[in-house]
Every structure is written in structure tokens, then in C-alpha cells.
Amino acid sequence: GAGVSQSPSNKVTEKGKDVELRCDPISGHTALYWYRQSLGQGLEFLIYFQGNSAPDKSGLPSDRFSAERTGGSVSTLTIQRTQQEDSAVYLCASSLILEQFFGPGTRLTVL
Amino acid sequence: AQKVTQAQTEISVVEKEDVTLDCVYETRDTTYYLFWYKQPPSGELVFLIRRNSFDEQNEISGRYSWNFQKSTSSFNFTITASQVVDSAVYFCALSEAGNNDMRFGAGTRLTVKP
């Protein structure tokens, strides 16, 4: 597709379960970002991938969070042993130069 | 450390009014980039504009205009003759050269009433 896509659009899970969120960036974009947006809040940076370089994981809130980017394209954000405070919208963005283009997000609800 | 402040949490105007959304930033870098994004009720962030630190020229795009003033570290956004479709949350963001994360302000929720 033309834009950034994310799946699933909604995910409801039970506390303690693991979840995987997927992001398909815009074709040709070398940079990929993950953000978290809690209800009514701004965006919190989580992780950044640029080409084949080591990712910048400085925004990950705990070791329960991890992300991979395979083949320089699709990325998966994994949250292990989910907690209720993980409930948020997880946004993915990709960029070629500076401007970031965002996907529709995955709304995660941890019961 | 970089920081973006959007002091206006919510603004409500009547259609056709002009409205200005404020953004104040902090950075120690001499090279940085400022952005505005729109997040409509559908939730997807839409890129509006990027401004480089070395280019203080203001910009106008249709009903939108941006006023970048380094002297006051501000990058304000004005919507002229607002419309109901302008209702959204607007985010100002800052990215420093060589820094991977983009810092967003808390956002300003704009409601335009008919």
C-alpha cells in the first residue's frame, strides 16, 4: 500500500500474556520508529531503526519490550508479560529523510 | 535535552474564526527541525510541515501559516477562517540533528464549532 500499515488495529489481551504488534513501513523508507500514545497524551518514543544499523532502544520502558525489523522492512514490537499500564495506542512511523509518516496505530487493551 | 511545550490543552472556536496554536521548544543544538502534525478523530497522525533551524522564513499554505521565531524559541501555527474539519489534536515536535527520537508536545485539542 501507499502508506504505513499496522496490524492488528485493536488487540485485547489478559494481563501476563505476550503480544506482537506489526508494522509495514512505506516501501523504500529506511527509518522506522515506534511510539506509544496513552489516552489523551502525547507521543512517547520507544525505538528507532535505521537501515542495517543497531536500533536505538533508548525509549523502551522496560525489558519486557523488544522490537525487531526483518530485512529492513517489516517490524514487530513485542510486549512480554503485559501489564495494565501497557494499555495504549502503539504507533509506527517510517521516514526517508526527516518527515515521519505514521500508521493508524494498534490500540492495545490489557485487562 | 530537547523539550516541546504546548501550553494550550484545549481551544474551542466558532467556524470562520482565526486561531493560533502555540509551540515553544528547548534545545541546545544549533541544528534542529520543527514539525507540526494533525491527529483527527480517526487517530492517524498527518504530517503538516517541517521547518529547519537555519530557515526562519515563515510559511503559508492555504489557510495554514506558521511563524518560526528563534529569538523566542517558538513555532506557532495559525489557522485562518477555521472550519469544522480542522477539529483535531495538533502536535508540535522537535528533532535534533543526529538524535533519533522526535520529541512531541502534549498536543492541543482544537474544536471548531459550526
For A64-90, write each residue's pLDDT tens digit: 999 999 887 999 999 999 999 999 999
Q: Looking at the partner chain, which of A33, A42, A91 has a beta carbon nearest the beta carbon of B105?
A: A42
What region, left, alpha or beta, does residue B84 occupy, with left being phi > 0 and alpha being psi -120 to 50 degrees? alpha
| Total length of chain B | 114
> A21-59 pLDDT, tens per residue?
999 999 999 999 999 999 877 889 999 998 888 898 989
* Mutation for B interface: A99, A106, A107, A108, most B CBs within 10 A: A99
- Say if residue B1's pLDDT is above 70: no
| CB < 8 Å to A42, chain B | 91, 104-107
